[in-house]
Amino acid sequence: MVSLKEVGAKATVGSRVGHLLRITGYLEIAIICMWIHNPRALATMGMVEASLRGEGPDGKDEDLLKRLRALVEEARDYYAGDDFPAAMARMRVAQNLVDLRIVAIGGE
């Protein structure tokens, strides 16, 4: 596995898309776990949080990652407090933001 720091200034659109696809994949897993009330839902939300640590390739998506960190943190707090609708809304918004960014940069 190549660290994102090693990619550095030579990051490509493909590496950015790959990074965002990993995040949206973890979001999808967490959302499914939440829907089926899986006891590992909070753990899968932790996987999402872990995928959001640090900066992405070139740092071009840092604005998005910052927003995602806040949304996922709020979702985790709401879910832990048994407020499922508020938690799910934030997770879906987070996933939609990532997916829209993938579409946007995929056309570059």
pLDDT at site 39:
92
- What is the gyration radius of the CA atoms in the chain, in angstroms? 14
Q: What is the mean pLDDT of the chain?
A: 90
Structure tokens at 52: 């959001």
Q: What is the mean pLDDT of residues 49-59?
A: 90
Looking at residue 3, its pLDDT comes to 57
CA 76 – CA 87 distance, rounded (Å): 7
Token code pair at residue 25: 């994949």
The pLDDT value recorded for residue 107 is: 76
pTM for this prediction: 0.85
- The string of pLDDT tens digits covering residues 14-37 is 899 999 999 999 999 999 999 999
